[in-house]
Amino acid sequence: SPTMESGTISSWEVEVGGGFSAGDVICEVETDKATVGFEAQDDGYLAKVLVEAGTDEISVGHPICVITEDAPDVQAFEGFSLEDAGEVTAPPAAQEAEGSSAAAAAPSSAAQPAKQAPERTVSSEFLLSPAARHYTASRGLDASGLQGTGKGGRVTKEDVIKAVSSGVQLPKLGEKQAASTSASQSRAAGQPSAAFAAPVKVAFDLSTVKKTDAPYEDTAASKMRKVISKRLTESKADVPHFYVSMACQLDNLMALRSRLKNSLDIKVSVNDVLIRCAALALRDVPKVNAKWNDKKKVVEPAEAVDISVAVATPNGLITPIVAGADKMGFGSITAKVRDLAGRAREGKLAPEEYQGGSFSISNLGMFDISVFSAVINPPQGAIMAVGSGMPVLDPTSEAGKPTFKNVMQVQLSVDRRVADEAAAAEYLQVFKSYVEQPTSLLL
């Protein structure tokens, strides 16, 4: 996976000393999106396991085992370790982060009863991560003077813990602001500052607040969840989203489903029909079926209508791809979605089955969600959020004989660099026409 930075060995499929042939699976690796088999490239023997199953956050490129060509050579590696082969070089980014962390937490060589955190001039609200801010506030400490190792120099919770453990004396919350204010007032009055000569009284010290003993447990984020967090945060920060929505009447579509089931024994879900509607609309309005190339600063039209369908799994959301959806019939779409969704929940998708795609659909209608906004899945240019069908009074009903229509709301999130509001509106109009006149889907 191109987004993979680390992985986990789920299980070893070959025992130490055991032989294998080219193509055999040596171990199962949990990547950021799925669990895949690590296949041997040549025949050999597993001489030594360097990373036990279940070890988390193994960096890409880190040695995990020793393989020999001949069985007699296995015994020579019985006591082998990574230290015997020399130091394993960490990736540059990891080295830099480790260096920064060590610099922030290492105690000074000079003998001092307590060390003061260096002064920083940037706002502490910007410097502190949410976790660090909560950690320090609950203890009445001010960590804005620490040198952070997080992105953009942010001070993380780990930075604070390391600093306190190494003896860095953090000021009490409010002392810096009170001292600064006092010094400024003294200078304005032409008097020497006495802000540091007398103790500063803190108006409200959070460290005195009684802490609750209610039990709780932090939930470790899965690799998939970490990747989702990173990519979608970048999407909201870097991609200029805009949103358009439209109501679509479902009565004719539901009637078509019934006819397909009763006459042809073809069972299709509403979502399967909507996938075909969306695919044909993308074929008719190709301006929405595109992505933004940030390096070249150009819009790149998609070569095919490949629709990513959001599927919920125990580890998070994944979007397997229905490739060439505009050329598929109801039966093919139904079979494809059922197969992809099943293997997605088992973590058995191949990378090419969930990487790429030209357009996404996220359907929460089965959960009775009427309207929601979806975040664009980079590098795609748009995603459609589908809500549930709801009965709405038909304004054309005869007096005293009210009738209702089944209406569904869809909302399109679009990258403004890829398409404008007019193109988005045109796409939804075409999509609506396919939904409300579904017989055209059979042509």
pLDDT per residue rounded down to tens, the chain (443 residues): 566 678 888 889 999 999 998 888 899 888 777 778 888 888 899 999 988 888 877 888 888 898 988 888 888 888 887 776 655 444 444 444 444 333 333 343 334 444 454 444 444 444 677 677 777 777 888 877 788 887 667 788 788 888 887 878 888 876 555 545 444 454 445 554 443 444 444 455 555 556 666 787 888 887 888 888 888 999 999 999 999 999 999 999 999 999 988 888 888 999 999 999 999 999 999 999 999 999 999 999 999 999 999 999 887 889 999 999 999 999 899 999 999 999 999 888 888 999 889 999 999 999 999 999 999 998 999 999 999 999 998 888 777 788 899 999 999 999 999 999 999 999 999 999 999 999 888 87
Decide: pTM greater than 0.85. no
Q: Where are the beta strands (DSSP E) in 31-139?
A: 35-39, 44-49, 58-59, 65-68, 115-116
Distance CA 319, CA 328 (A): 18
Domains of the chain, each with CATH number or no CATH: 6-85 (2.40.50.100), 108-208 (no CATH), 227-442 (3.30.559.10)
Query: Can you list the pairs that 179-184 forms with residues at least 24 positions away whose Cβ atoms lie under 8 Å?
Result: none
CA distance 178 to 198: 12
> Do you find a cis peptide bond into 379, omega within 30 degrees of 0?
yes
pLDDT score recorded for residue 111: 40
pLDDT at 358: 96
Give the separation between CA 282 and CA 304, rounded to whole angstroms.
10
Distance from C-alpha of 242 to C-alpha of 352, rounded to nearest angstrom: 29
Q: Are 155 and 127 in contact (CB under 8 A)?
A: yes
CA atoms within 13 A on the CB side of 305: 20
**Location of structure tokens 């939930």:** 219
Handedness of CA 51, 54, 58, 60 (dihedral sign): positive
| Cβ–Cβ under 8 Å, residues 168 and 115 | yes
